[in-house]
Amino acid sequence: MKTLLIGASLNPERYAYQAVHLLVEKNQEVIPFGLKEGSIAGLSIITEKKAFKDIHTVTLYVGPKHQKEYYDYILSLNPQRVIFNPGTENKDFEDALKRQGIFSERACTLVLLRTNQYQS
């Protein structure tokens, strides 16, 4: 199950940084995508929109006002689900995902991982 994390940060205090570490710890394949190059948990942060195959989950750590530039990209990946972490909720995008048959949920990736509900 491959996860694309959008909004990766090199700041250890950011939830996106913590989520990459926890995904790796839980043996989940994760691709961190962010604005700045660097590495988290031994993984290089991807800074360009690549046409990844078999993305199961996109987890968002980008606020609604910055999500529009990712709409077409995320839709093109055709993930099975998109997780809107706290503060990223976006009804317009959630509706667009639904129209494309993509499941979205408002949840916290960290909580899902810690409670063993991430793969459910």
List pLDDT tens digits, range 69-113.
999 999 999 999 999 999 999 999 999 999 999 999 999 999 999
Burial 92-120 (b: 16+ CB within 10 A, else e): ebbebbeeeebebeebbbbebbeeeebee
Domains recognised in the chain with CATH numbers: 2-114 (3.40.50.720)
Phi, psi of 116 (to 5 degrees): 55, 35
pTM of the model: 0.96
At 39, is the secondary structure helix, strand, or coil? strand
Left (φ > 0), alpha (ψ -120 to 50) or beta: where does 38 sit?
Answer: left
List pLDDT tens digits, range 5-60.
999 999 999 999 999 999 999 999 999 999 999 999 999 999 999 999 999 999 99
